[in-house]
Amino acid sequence: MTKTRALGRGLGALLDNHDGDLTSKPLATDPGAAGSISGILISEIEANPFQPRSRFDQEKLDELAASITQLGIIQPLTLRKVRPNKYQIISGERRFRASQLAGLTEVPAYIRVANDQTMLEMALVENIQRDNLDAIEVAISYQRLIDECKLTQEALGERVGKKRSTITNYLRLLKLPPQIQKAIMDRVLTMGHARAIINVDDENEQLLLFKEIIKGGLSVRAAEQATRNAKKDSKPANTDLPLEYQRIRDNVKQQLNAEVSLKVNSKGKGSFSIAFDNEKELKRVLSILDLLP
């Protein structure tokens, strides 16, 4: 089986853990040997430099630490050996941090060999498959896989088991204004709300819609409707103007002897413009309007 398919099935498949039960294996007689589960000193473990997660919930870490104090570590960490008596975390940084809080000096770990490229890819994929990531963390991880692992969106979809359209929807979130991205990270705004906002092209309109959603406590469906309304209002007015506006346009056109455009949307907002072919024509129109400097 190729590594591509393994990545798509999760970290367990990537690590070729065929029996799927790391805790059932005895600790290695040669601590730190690749392919083994070993007891590794916490002082010999360092954080993953490719860790995509930047924030850890302290309350949940404390809860995990309390659980580890009572029950120990149920699922071993996954490490790679980088030099004698020194390891980097591939997966399990929350367990590592909680173990430190619990006062452990040693943790069980599965040891494997991985180069930087493979480690980055593994860490990102493993992180993406967690349920507690916010949408921006997922989007950043997708973008890093594309940029740093040189993957296309199609190849990325194969690795994480997602459709290309899903990948695209996440990546589009990174184009939202920082204020909206932070709201997604803080879970003030859901992925559904964000997808509604991203369908509005203008950044100012996006921020207005964002404030409307927050202030009004709009549901996703209501946010989608607000998006449709915003897009409708931003479209050029219908060429079939109400009769009253047609008369205004035609009257101005006749008075100025120039091409006049009048656009009005459903809320009564619009624009009025006068066309001219050259500077002389412009001055003539301005003269009629008594607007010459």
Q: Give the residue numbers annotated as catalytic, written as ranges.
A: 93
Q: For residue 270, with 0-12 CB atoms within 10 Å meaning exposed, 13-18 middle and 19 or more buried, which class applies?
A: middle
Which residue in 112, 111, 110, 76 sits closest to 96, CA to CA?
76
Torsion, Cα of 160, 58, 112, 80 (10° steps): 120
Rounded to the nearest 10 degrees, what angle do helices 135-148 and 116-128 cross at? 160
Query: Token pair for residue 109?
Result: 């770990």
Which residue in 217, 144, 219, 205 sits closest to 174, CA to CA?
144
